[in-house]
Amino acid sequence: MKQLDAPEGRGQASLKPTFLSLACAACGALIQSKFDLEIGNLVVGELVLIGVAFVVLFLPGKGDRVRASTIWLYGAGVLVMLLGYVASDLYAQTEPQQYVRGWARVMVFGLDVIALLVIASRGERHLWWFAAGLAAGMAGYLLASGTRIDVLSWKQGYGFAVVIFSALIAGFWNHYMGALLFACVGIFSVLFDFRSLGGTLVVSACLLFARVAVRNPPGRWAGRVIVLGLMLGAAALALVVSLLRGDVETDLRRQESNVGRFVGLTVAGRAIADSPLLGYGSWTGDKRYVDLLNRELARATFGTEFRVAKRIDSLLPHSQVLQAWVEGGLLGALFFLIYGVQLLVGLHWLAFHHVPGRLTPLYLFFLVSGFWNLLASPFLGVHRVYIACAIAVLALLSRERRTAAGAAPGSRVIELQRLRA
């Protein structure tokens, strides 16, 4: 079977730059460029990405990496989400400025998804170049502003840039070395107090390491298992060290984050239980739950200097699926619920069936981080682009699974070929 991202010369997709791939890199680099409007931020990179995808529709040839039906289905899913937001905003009598921002966010997100699917249908290389531009834009924006690498800036962009560059580089290495690179950057992130990114990388490293290991003879597994255990042990040790060595400011920031997330998720869960079908509108400002959120935060942070103890005017839990449910009701959350199942299916394929190649580390990072973000990151800002990248990976892996099924012994394709011979 020809592998979509197997090494070049062995069926591997070429990553040589083309005009389209360089345009994708430019789109990624411009994601950090924004214009401030009354209804929110207008991201230049997203507008250019949508424009590039529109041009691709009229290019000669036909993209075969992603089915047209897949693009239509994701587009329909976003429309269902938008319908949930509209219904919930009308029911909650949301202020115009709020629902315009909410609907615009959903529509731009849908266009991001469709744009990356259209571009990915022309070849996997374009997703690779888009990711390269995204990482270069993050790092370049911070460097141009004179920002030094420290704990805060690592979370603001340097960390993601280094991780994406690591995923791109790891694809050209022996995948054992790629897994070790992921683990090292993940441990460094944990020590820099970016525990979520560090954990995502360690999990990605373990999946990449395990996938490559099981393709070797059983007699060589012992050494691989030892290395895997050492990786996990080092990550655990880094976590313990990061928790013990923090200064007062770091400890306050960490506790602030933990308390804010926990209380927000708890109140969001209660709001959903009270109204599971209809949400509370875009940028939820329902007085009952906003007051409840502030009371719980004040109680949890009594006697501290936490910023979360200040008055909060909206309920936006740090969870994409819960935020969509709180804002847009069940229809708003349905997209993310199905997306979560697809992420698990995609990770299962990567862990047990996928033939590792140049794009494997990047695929793993997008899917593992996508699952984490689904549960513990907001549906805001650049996360729209990360979700769209993960969906593009899922669509490419779906084609890979269909190709594998068609080439399996005894499959209908093989039988037809045999009959024709």
Structure tokens at 237: 């040790």
Q: Report the C-alpha gap between 363 and 207 in whole angstroms.
A: 11
pLDDT tens-place string over residues 49-99: 999 999 999 888 777 788 889 999 999 999 999 999 999 999 999 898 889
pLDDT for 253: 64
- Confidence band, pLDDT 50/70/90 cuts, at residue 139: very high
pLDDT for 363: 95
Report the chain's mean pLDDT, rounded to a whole number: 82
Percent of the chain surpassing pLDDT 90: 43
b/e 303-324 (16+ beta carbons within 10 angstroms → b): eeebebbeebebbbbbbbbbbb
Question: Which phi and psi (to 5°) does residue 60 adopt?
Answer: -60, 155
- pTM (2 d.p.): 0.87
Q: Report the C-alpha gap between 62 and 169 in whole angstroms.
A: 30
Q: What integer is the mean pLDDT of 113-136?
A: 95
Nearest CA-CA partner of 400 in 358, 351, 346, 361:
346
pLDDT for 329: 96
Q: Report in angstroms the alpha-carbon separations of 155 from 50, 123, 125.
A: 27, 31, 28
Q: Report the C-alpha gap between 387 and 63 in whole angstroms.
A: 21
pLDDT tens-place string over residues 208-250: 877 766 666 555 555 566 666 666 666 666 656 665 555 555 5
Q: Which of 39-53, 172-186, 290-304, 358-372 has the lowest mean pLDDT?
A: 290-304
Examine the pLDDT at 10 and tell me if it is beyond 50. Answer: no
| 327 within 8 A of 334, measured Cβ to Cβ | no
- Confidence band, pLDDT 50/70/90 cuts, at residue 43: confident
Question: Which phi and psi (to 5°) does residue 101 adopt?
Answer: -65, -45
Examine the pLDDT at 178 and tell me if it is beyond 70. Answer: yes
pLDDT for 9: 34
Task: Look at 152 and 4; give whichever has higher pLDDT.
Answer: 152
Q: What integer is the mean pLDDT of 177-192?
A: 83
- Confidence band, pLDDT 50/70/90 cuts, at residue 113: very high
pLDDT tens-place string over residues 302-353: 655 555 546 677 888 889 999 999 999 999 999 999 999 999 999 999 888 8
Q: What integer is the mean pLDDT of 111-117?
A: 96
Nearest CA-CA partner of 124 in 206, 20, 242:
20
Supply the angle between the helices 383-407 and 412-420 in degrees, to the nearest 10: 40
Q: Report the C-alpha gap between 272 and 274 in whole angstroms.
A: 5
Instruction: Measure the CA angle with vertex 67, ends 64 and 70; round to 5°.
Output: 155
Q: What is the DSSP string of 106-173?
A: HHHHHHHHHHHHHHHTT-THHHHHHHHHHHHHHHHHHHHTT---SHHHIIIIIHHHHHHHHHHHHTTS
Q: Which of 104-118, 142-156, 209-223, 278-292 has the lowest mean pLDDT?
A: 209-223
DSSP 3-state assignment of 410? coil
Q: Which of 282-286, 352-356, 412-416 has the lowest mean pLDDT?
A: 412-416
CA atoms within 13 A on the CB side of 248: 2
| 412 within 8 A of 402, measured Cβ to Cβ | no
What's the length of the chain?
421
Residues contacting residue 339 through CB under 8 Å, at least 6 positions apart: 374, 387, 391
